[in-house]
Amino acid sequence: MNNDIDVKALPTPCYIVDERLLIKNLETLNKVQERTGCNILLALKGFSMFSVFPTVGKYLKGITSSSLFEARLGYERMGKEVHIYAPAYIDEEFDEIVKYCDHIVFNSFDQWKRFKDKVKNAGKKIECGIRVNPEYSEIETPIYNPCYKYSRLGVTLPNFKPDELDGIDGLHFHTMCEQNSDTLERTIKVVDEKFGEYIKKMKWINLGGGHHITRPDYDIETLVKSIMFFKDKYGVDVYLEPGEAIALNTGYLVAKVLDIVNNGMNIAILDTSAACHMPDVIEMPYRPNIIGAGKPEEYPHTYRFGGLTCLAGDIIGDYSFKEPLKPGDRLVFCDMAHYTMVKNNTFNGVNLPSIALYTEKDGIKIVKRFGYEDFEGRLS
Ligand SMILES: *Cc1c(COP(=O)(O)O)cnc(C)c1O
């Protein structure tokens, strides 16, 4: 964390995004747009901190959404292109979806047929697409792999209906997760072999998300080559819709030690929770980095970090420190901007972390605090 951010000035727990780091990512993404003429969208599923949407909108073409509510948030808070894809749309919501969206991607030809007339009668131009499943993915975690056996996501080649493409402007595929461009290059080969004759008839192709473009070892040249492959071969516009890559390494979760107990090892109980505030720690699972902490036993004082819920498995990981910890000490978890605020919950009645933003102009600003109303508001 940049040392001009005073961690002690923050309430805990608190997510804080450093706008300077976000801008750095956006500049990297914008360079890809400038070099290739492609369009990059922010996938709100991964990062929906709308107080930075004006900044994101300066660089990217718009957002993509997975639901009516995300579409509305993007429409109202950024006001650029609004795309949507969902495995199925809800009849009662579709009229409102049409109001906010300019691109709608369908998961099946039946869905396309079902909503075709509503699109036609929208009173504005909406470009529609079909999500295809190339049945090729290098993701090894099954819950993140859209190409596993019996996947419901996208149309496979045997199920593809070429005679129902009238009114369809684009094809969409999403088969990656936190991957480099070599994976994209291999995926594109399969997509091209299977769906090339249909891409020919399209205005655009959407390469989905999962591109880890802003990671230091990401190979941007191969990404550029892959985008240009589609543009040159088929004359189509190319969309990318990463979520994680926009917010990667731009934010932190600051928490405090509440108590230290011992049961065969030292266990620190924090005022945050894996289950409530960083669910991917349990779902992926992974062990987030903490500033100043080492691997277990690397430094003299090792602790297991647990959350303040009653869930036995609410464990963040084991860490070691040069000095012993004590109640009141603050901890800074790294890379906590994406898939945190959008996934957190109030399990056990645990409050949600505040949300703060650091900008060059204003320094630290607490943009949101949560309270009892947020817990009560979603119950009855
Ligand atoms: C999840 C998802 C994204 C964003 O993925 P990231 O891994 O955050 O880049 C984009 N498009 C679709 C269809 C998705 O399901």
Average pLDDT over residues 207-224: 98
Asked, for residue 27, whether it belongs to a domain, the answer is no
Average pLDDT over residues 269-290: 97
pLDDT exceeds cutoff 90 at 224:
yes
Domain termination residue (choose one: 247, 280, 312)? 247
Decide the pairing of beta strands 237-240 and 39-43: parallel
- Site to substitute for ligand 1 among 173, 174, 342, 343, most atoms within 8 A of C-beta: 174
pLDDT of 338: 98
Same domain, 197 and 81: yes
Specify whether the CB–CB gap between 82 and 101 falls below 8 A: yes
1-5, 114-118, 125-129: range with lowest mean pLDDT: 1-5
Distance of alpha carbon 109 from alpha carbon 125, whole angstroms = 20
Does any ligand 1 atom lie closer than 6 A to the CB of residue 131?
Answer: no
pLDDT of 161: 98
Asked, for residue 241, whether it belongs to a domain, the answer is yes
| Both structure tokens of 31 | 């360079």
From 332, 322, 330, select the one nearest 358 (Cα to Cα). Answer: 332
CATH of the domain at 259: 2.40.37.10
Q: What is the percent of the chain where pLDDT is above 70?
A: 100
From 359, 368, 371, select the one nearest 18 (Cα to Cα). Answer: 359
Asked, for residue 110, whether it belongs to a domain, the answer is yes
Same domain, 351 and 306: yes
Average pLDDT over residues 131-142: 94
Same domain, 280 and 332: yes
Nearest CA to ligand 1 atom 8: 243
Give, in order, the Cα–Cα distances in Å from 49 to each of 37, 62, 213, 238: 26, 14, 20, 25
Q: How confident is the model at residue 3 (pLDDT cuts 50, 70, 90)?
A: confident
Same domain, 273 and 366: yes
Same domain, 198 and 267: no
Does any ligand 1 atom lie closer than 6 A to the CB of residue 243?
Answer: yes
Give me the chain's average pLDDT, please: 97
Average pLDDT over residues 256-285: 97
Asked, for residue 221, whether it belongs to a domain, the answer is yes
Distance of alpha carbon 87 from alpha carbon 320, whole angstroms = 43
Average pLDDT over residues 266-288: 97
pLDDT exceeds cutoff 90 at 318:
yes
Same domain, 229 and 277: no
Same domain, 127 and 197: yes
Beta bridge partners of 174: none
Asked, for residue 70, whether it belongs to a domain, the answer is yes
Known binding residues are 244, 280
Same domain, 271 and 154: no
Give how many domains the chain has, as a whole number.
Answer: 2
Same domain, 270 and 288: yes
| Both structure tokens of 328 | 């009141």
CATH of the domain at 88: 3.20.20.10
Q: What is the CA(152)–ligand 1 centre distance, in A?
A: 16
Does any ligand 1 atom lie closer than 6 A to the CB of residue 244?
Answer: yes
pLDDT of 141: 85
Same domain, 218 and 318: no
Same domain, 227 and 355: no
Known binding residues for substrate are 244, 280
Domain termination residue (choose one: 247, 264, 292)? 247
Ligand 1 atom nearest to CA at 46: 8
pLDDT exceeds cutoff 90 at 2:
no
Average pLDDT over residues 190-215: 98
Same domain, 91 and 238: yes
| pLDDT tens-place string over residues 68-92 | 999 999 999 999 999 999 999 999 9
Domain termination residue (choose one: 247, 275, 302)? 247
Average pLDDT over residues 290-303: 98
Nearest CA to ligand 1 atom 10: 209
Asked, for residue 24, whether it belongs to a domain, the answer is no
Average pLDDT over residues 120-128: 97
Asked, for residue 326, whether it belongs to a domain, the answer is yes
At 225, phi and psi to the nearest 5?
-60, -40
Asked, for residue 280, whether it belongs to a domain, the answer is yes
Range of the structural domain that residue 169 is part of: 37-247
Q: How confident is the model at residue 156 (pLDDT cuts 50, 70, 90)?
A: very high
Q: How confident is the model at residue 58 (pLDDT cuts 50, 70, 90)?
A: very high
pLDDT of 151: 95
